[in-house]
Amino acid sequence: MPTKATWPAARLHVVTGKGGTGKTTVAAAVALSLAAGGRRVLLVEVEERQGIAQLFDTPPLPYEERRVAVARGGGEVRALAVDVEAALLEYLEMFYNLKRAGRALRRMGAVDFATAIAPGLRDVLLTGKIKEAVTRQVKGARAYDAVVVDAPPTGRIARFLSVTKHVAGLAKGGPIKTQSDGVMAVLRSSQTAIHIVTVLEDMPVQETADAIAELRAIGLPVGSIIVNMASQPLLPVGAMARAAGGRLDSATIAASLKEAGLDGESLAGPLLLEAAEHAQG
């Protein structure tokens, strides 16, 4: 699990993984881990699924930062569900002073139209909001010690983070280009670590390998590979081999059961049989 100790320079932790690997749960666990010891962490959702709200059993998150958990040592985790429409209106107000025009665009349905004809704009807005949270300062200090992103799945992560490629088709200059360059500067820096969640199955492992190659090809920093839902074996490797071959010492097991106050003579046989079936399965 990524911690402040394992990634001391990272302040932006992007968590991705194939669907079904538990990336949202892992992202929340990473946020709680980073918040331990009194730190402030922002957990960001970008897929409009309200997965964070479901995980923490809270009402659906609005487009504002709200506290969802308290960590050990007084730290806190705040959460934000980024809404693309709200992010676009915020962008228009921030860079073009078009607050009233933005409201009119919303009523006309122009916001959905804009993101439909320029699909890359959606990712530019989402990553721009993430970058703003990472770099934001309050009274000369960072607003958050770390930002954790529950990102799109591995099949889309490289495209999601390639904002400069999107912008090439949208703008050659101006605020959009400036913002995308700023986003890429953060994403490619030591401040960022992209963690990939997988499970021990063929497809998730293959997608993990593909994602690593794609991210490295565009110069983005790969962080930890997190194997989720992996259980420890009930027996050590050597004992498993002996159990499968029926070579466990029945007398020793019977004696141990007897020491525990159990009927070793009657229990040892069935337990050895169950151990053999488990080891062979």
Q: What whole-number distance in Å separates Cα of residue 231 and Cα of residue 162?
A: 35
| Residue 5 is assigned to a structural domain of this protein | no
Same domain, 220 and 241: no
Q: What whole-number distance in Å separates Cα of residue 64 and Cα of residue 196?
A: 27
| Residue 6 is assigned to a structural domain of this protein | no
H-type alpha helices, the chain: 23-35, 51-55, 84-96, 99-108, 110-117, 119-135, 154-161, 163-168, 174-187, 202-217, 237-244, 250-259, 264-280
Same domain, 169 and 276: no
Tokens representing 259?
């020491």
Same domain, 219 and 252: no
Confidence (pTM)? 0.80
| Residue 1 is assigned to a structural domain of this protein | no
Nearest to 33 by CA among 61, 9, 59, 13: 13
Nearest to 244 by CA among 271, 273, 280, 270: 280
Q: What whole-number distance in Å separates Cα of residue 251 and Cα of residue 80?
A: 60
Same domain, 139 and 221: yes
* 176 CB burial (10 A radius; 0-12, 13-18, 19+): buried
**Per-residue pLDDT in tens (0 to 9) along the chain, 281 residues:** 676 667 778 999 999 999 999 999 999 999 999 999 999 999 999 998 999 999 999 999 999 999 999 998 999 999 999 988 888 777 777 766 666 665 666 666 656 656 665 667 788 889 999 999 999 999 999 999 999 999 999 999 999 999 877 666 666 667 777 878 889 999 999 999 999 999 999 999 999 999 999 999 999 999 999 999 987 776 777 888 888 888 888 888 889 988 998 888 888 888 888 888 878 76
Range of the domain at 153: 12-227
**Structural domains in the chain (count):** 2
Same domain, 116 and 246: no
Same domain, 251 and 211: no
Same domain, 130 and 158: yes
